[in-house]
Structure 1
Amino acid sequence: MVRPGRFFFIVGPSGAGKDTLIDGARLALASRDDIVFATRTITRQSGAPGESHVGVSEAEFDVLEAAQRFLITWRAHGLRYGLPIELKQAVDAGRHVIANGSRAMIAELASRVPELVVIEVTAPVSVLAARIAARGREGEAQIAARLARGLIPVPDGVRALKVMNDASASMGAQRFADVLQAVIDEAPDASLNAGWDDYLAKLGGATLDERAYTRLMDGIAGSRFSDDESRTMLRTLIGTLEDSEVAALARVRMRRMARIDWGEPIVVDKHSMGGVPGSRITLIVVPIVAAFGLLMPKTSSRAITSASGTADAMEALARVDLDATELNAVTREARGCIAWNGRLNHSAVDDVTNAMVRPLQLDTRRWSVASILSKKYSAGATHVVVDLPYGPQTKLANEDEARELGELFERVGAELGMTVKAFATDGSAPVGRGIGPALELRDALAVLDNRADAPADMRDKALRFAAQILAWSPHIGTPHQGRIEAERLLASGAAKQAFERIVDAQGRQPAAQPAALTHTVTAPRAGVVAHIDGWAVSGIARDAGAPACKGAGVDLLCVRGQLVAAGEPVLRIHAAHAEALAAALRALDAQAPVVLAETAGRIDETVISIRY
């Protein structure tokens, strides 16, 4: 038995643009042979301006109506309208009908077709008024009166969806076509799953509220939808997330995780959007802050695609897989921690969505704001500093993008009751010298030990973020004073002592050493280091065995702008074993991790890649 098709009845106020969207959908869905676009019979001349229709006289309309040639008829604006009876036959044969109609006829049509779906095309009042005025048929008073008319509600039991037509005609048509196609192709009884119609509303251009995101996240995390449905839904939600929705989504996520109450007025945290190899400043910032006395329960991730994460680097010296009870005890004892977040701040939504989103390679930056801040909130943070690196190989292409996202972090944080300060930072080159857990830990310890050969860029960046955090203390007040205090705590050794207390509290382990199997890469000729490709270096480090082998990785023996002589070392690979070293060398041969130029001023003209 053929399942009847759906009858889509398109309604909307004057100026909503129903005809435009229907025409656009007709083109967008032209390849589908299971869709019928209805042609109305109207008592006006054929070929008159407006929609394509069958024009008849009043007498001819009477004859057709008496012969029961119409599925429904109605009067509007001095004209009579009819939808042909053949549309019912098309629906019964399993085809789907799209028809422009009158809201007043919804109840009658619902009694005559097996499955009616009402789609209301709408737009803000100001947009409607402007479109009606552009027709030149009515004055301001008539337009105001038209828009002030109350709309007849959709009868109970009739499925109703909306499409917002407030942008370009092409955007409105795309939204309309997307909604039609999603409903036509939806699984049986899909609308009974809480969240599905919210997804359709988002397809139609709606701004979703907290209740809608609650239904959506519950549905996705609870596996109420198929994996394909969930992926499609996430693609739409992530790609069209608005500022207000980021905050709504964050609040939904917050409610799914219990919040830690530290019993202190200021609890600080830090997050980086990542993308800069070697930037392991958390191992310096947390001890500085803990030495000052502010509470900083820092949880971090392991590497996913890079050669090391903060948790990987810390694990080269201390245990990081703390549970909630252990984290609480460590933080209270040492005033801070640097732990892995895999056993903490657990979110079933993340488990499901991350597994689906990562393969889609979507731009998840705005989506991440909700995820990151909800986790910071659940960890008990009251004040959060955010590092937003920008550059050609980071998640943020330029400084403007970073600043824009930073403003969103700060606004959403304020809505959640937290103080958030975001910094756009230059991510065009690695920070520090080592890429790999033990090598990055070595660099951080060099800074904490105030060694003369400590990476200056790592030290400066760590002090910048520590300064902002300390500025939140009423005893400090400004980033300038925070910088002075951070430098004092570092120079005096207080920060290093705080780090050792954190390591002991978490569980000290034998320090991982850089792997002894090495290969040094030298400059093939003299030149200026024009560029260091951080991700190429990171990829070589991974091939060498990082982060699984804590001692594997790459040492950068040069910095951007440095003049190097022919034969001077520029990279040193530390490999887990011979096979890993061979893989790292193959990766080196396929890429240009360091680029030399003949002179600093003519980089683009005489580039020489180091390749082996």
Structure 2
Amino acid sequence: MAPCGVFFFVVGPSGAGKDTLIDGAREAFAGRADVVFATRTITRPSGSPGEQHVGVDEAAFAALERAQRFLITWDAHELRYGLPRELLANVEAGRHVIANGSRAVIAALAAQVPRLVVIEVTAPADVLARRIAARGRETEAAIAARLARTVAASPDGVRTIKVMNDRSAAVGVQRFAGVIEALIRERLGAQASAGWDDYLAKLGGATLDEAAYARLMEGIAGGRFIEAEAADILRALIGELDDTEVAALARVRARRMPRIDWGRPIVVDKHSLGGVPGSRITLLVAPIVAAFGLLMPKTSSRAITSASGTADAMEAIARVDLDADEMRAAVLEAGACIVWNGRLNHSTVDDVTNAMVRPLQLDTRRWSVASIMSKKFSAGATHVVVDLPYGPKTKLHDVTQALELARLFELIGSELGMTVKAFASDGSAPVGRGIGPALELRDVLAVLDNAADAPADLRDKALRYAGHILSWAPGVDSAQRGREEAARLLASGAARRAFDRIVDAQGRRALVEPSPLTHTIVAGESGTVAQIDGWAVGTIAREAGAPACKGAGVDLLCGVGQRVHAGEAIIRIHAADTAALAAAVRAANDQCAIAIAAISHARRAGARAEESIHVAQR
């Protein structure tokens, strides 16, 4: 015997848009044999404006009622309404019924229908007023009186889900149909899981509070939802988070991890949203800050989709898999650390999120702000600087997106009691020359050693962010003054000595050198380097074996704006083994990693340069 279907009884005040949402759902569920839309019998002529209905006069309605042809009836606005008894047979046969109704008969309907869910369509009072006024049938006073009426709550024991219809019709229909679909597919017993009804409320457009996010995070981390449910919940939560929800989520996540108390008024940290190959400035900023005397317990991630993460590069010279006690000892000894976060403020919620959300290709930026800032809080940070690179191949495509996220980072930091400065930065090209753990570390050491050939862009970016951090120190009154202090510490060798103390405190390892197995890519023609595609370069480096092989990766032998000649080396691949080298070479031939504006005869004559994105191999 098929299980009973759900009877969805749709209620809501005038102006809420019930008819619009039901009509939209009719399209959304078109062709579904398991979904039935009720047609009401109303004491007004058929074909009258409004919903499609069966029109009868008062006498005919009364006759149908006496013959028990109705499942339920009610009176409203000087009209009589009835739902046909046949709807009950549909529910008993396992089909799901969607019916427009009245709050006044919920209790009576609940006594007759085995699985009743009330869908309450609502909207803010100002939205309702505008919609009612647009009909042109009532005065302002009448509208005000209508909106002032007290609406009775659903009877105890009757499940009620609200759908907020305060935006476009398309958004309202999406919410309405989404709630109904979720309830149709609801697993037996899911309702008993704390957080499930919060998920349904979110589907309906609700703004969730901290208690709701606590229930949901506990449910996901505790495995109380099956995988498909957890994925649906994450999709709903990540899809639309306003500022108050990001703050609530950050507070909930911060409470799930114990906070380290360093006993200092200022404990600094740095985060980058990433997406720019190279740019390993944390390995420079931390020793500069430590040399100045501020505390910087830096926890970092390994690479997920890139050729190297901060922890991967640091691991080419030191241990990074420290536990909490080892991390504390290292920081107290050296003033800073650069360690992997996997053994420290690791989040099971992130594990679930990453595994389920990445294949869905959802925009997780606002969700990530809550995750990142809660981790900074748990690490004991009081002051945090955030780097938000933007560019065509980064997570943030333009400066507008970067500035909006900067605002959110600073807001959420403030909500957690931290001081946060977030900055948009140009991420259109790699920073530094090496892409891969050992190659990036080599660039860092060159900067720390004040080598003449050290990457100037890496040095400049590190000094800029170190300057912002040092501006928080007593006696340093600006980021410019902070930068000057950072440059002094770098030039004097104090930053290099601080780096060595950090390495020794964490556990020094034999320095990983770039792999000697190499292949050089040369320019196919002479011209000026117009663009370096960081994503393509990262792909080549990963094919070469990075980050698993610390010595693998890519050396950029040219920079944007540099003149190159045909046959000149522009990329050197360092590979883990011959198979990886062959794969990386194929990737280099397939990828448009470096675009060269060719200098043709026409260019010399004054014509526009022709763009070439082809590079030859040698």
TM-score w.r.t. length of structure 2: 0.97
1:413-459 alpha-carbon deviations (Å, 9 max, x no partner): 11111111111111111100111111111111111111111101001
- In structure 2, C-alpha distance between the alignment counterparts of 1:389 and 1:604, rounded to whole Å: 29
For the residue of structure 1 that corresponds to 2:297, the secondary structure is strand
Q: Say yes or no: does 1:610 pair with 2:612.
A: no
Cα-to-partner distance string for 1:319-345 (whole Å, 9 max, x where unaligned): 111110000010011110011111110
Does residue 13 in structure 1 map to residue 13 in structure 2? yes
For 2:544 and 2:54, locate their aligned partners in 1 and report how far apart those are by CA, in whole Å.
73
Change (3 A) 1:603 1:332: farther
Displacement of 1:521 after TM fit? 2.1
For residue 362 of structure 1, give the secondary structure of its aligned residue in structure 2.
coil
Summarize the alignment of residues 472-483 of structure 1 with structure 2, pairs less than 5 Å apart: 472-483=472-483
Deviation at 1:466, TM superposition (A): 0.4
The CA distance in 1 between the partners of 2:165 and 2:45, in whole Å, is 29
Are 2:598 and 2:609, in contact at CA under 8 Å, matched by a contact in 1? no
Give the match's secondary structure for 1:611: strand
Paired position in structure 2 for 1:259: 259
**In the alignment, which residue of structure 2 is the partner of 1:311?**
311
**1:171-570 equivalence runs, <5 A:** 171-570=171-570
How much has 1:597 moved relative to structure 2? 1.1
Tell me if structure 2 keeps the 8 A contact 1:530–1:603: no
Residues 246 and 369 in structure 1, CA contact (< 8 A), matched pair in contact too: yes
Task: Give CA deviations for 1:379-422 in whole Å, capped at 9, x if unaligned.
Answer: 01111111111111110111111111111111111111111111
Letter in 1 for 2:178: D
Shift of 1:110: 0.4
AA matched with 2:34: D
Letter in 2 for 1:497: R
1:127 is matched with 127
8 Å CA contact 1:9–1:118 kept in 2: the answer is: yes
Deviation at 1:474, TM superposition (A): 2.4
Shift in alpha-carbon separation, 1:293–1:603, aligned structure 2, 3 A: farther
Partner residue in 2 for 1:66: 66
Letter in 2 for 1:610: V
Q: Could you tell me which residue of structure 1 aligns to residue 89 of structure 2?
A: 89
Q: Structure 2 CA distance, aligned partners of 1:521 and 1:43? A: 82
Report the equivalent of 2:109: 109
State how far apart, in whole Å, the 2-side matches of 1:592 and 1:71 are: 67
Alpha-carbon contact 1:320-1:340 (below 8 Å) kept: yes
Q: What letter is aligned with 2:116?
A: L
Q: Secondary structure of 2:500's match? A: helix
Distance 2:361 2:493 in 1: 44
Cα offsets for 1:532-591 (capped at 9, x unmatched): 111222222222222222222111111010001222221111222222222211211212
How far has the Cα of 1:603 moved from its partner? Answer: 8.0
TM-score, normalised with respect to structure 1: 0.98
Rounded to whole Å, the distance in 2 between the matches of 1:415 and 1:241 is 16
Amino acid at match of 1:189: G
Unmatched 5+ residue regions in structure 1? none
The number of equivalent residue pairs is 612
Give distance in 1, aligned partners of 2:543 and 2:43. 75
Q: Distance in 2 between matches of 1:410 and 1:103?
A: 45
Q: CA deviation at 1:608?
A: 4.3
Residue 149 of structure 2 corresponds to: 149
Indicate if the aligned counterparts of 2:595 and 2:611 stay in contact, CA closer than 8 A: no
CA distance in 2, matches of 1:525, 1:19: 65
Q: What SS does the corresponding residue of 2:385 show, helix, strand or coil? A: strand
Query: Aligned letter for 2:308?
Result: S
Q: Which amino acid aligns with 1:297?
A: P
Contact 2:592 2:613 in 1 (8 A): no
Q: Distance in 2 between matches of 1:602 and 1:29?
A: 59
Q: Which runs of 5+ in 2 are unaligned?
A: none
In structure 2, distance between residues paired with 1:604 and 1:391 = 24
User: What is the one-letter code of the residue matched to 2:496?
Assistant: K
Check whether the contact 2:522–2:616 (CA below 8 A) recurs between aligned residues: no
Find the residue that maps to 1:152 and give its secondary structure: coil
Task: After TM superposition, give the deviation of residue 592 of structure 1 in Å.
Answer: 2.3
Aligned residue for 1:606, secondary structure, equals strand
Instruction: Determine the C-alpha separation between the residues in 2 that align with 1:584 and 1:602.
Output: 36
Equivalent position SS for 1:150: coil
Cα shift readout 1:101-160 (whole Å, capped 9, x = no counterpart): 111111111001111100000000000000111111111111111101111111111000
Matched to 1:10, the amino acid is: V
AA in 2 matched with 1:429? A
The match for 2:585 is: 585
Whether the 8 Å CA contact 1:116–1:159 is kept in 2: the answer is yes
- Deviation of the 1:2 alpha carbon: 2.2
Measured in 2, the distance between the counterparts of 1:574 and 1:73 equals 78
SS at match of 1:21: helix
Matched residues in 2 for 1:192 and 1:451: separation? 64
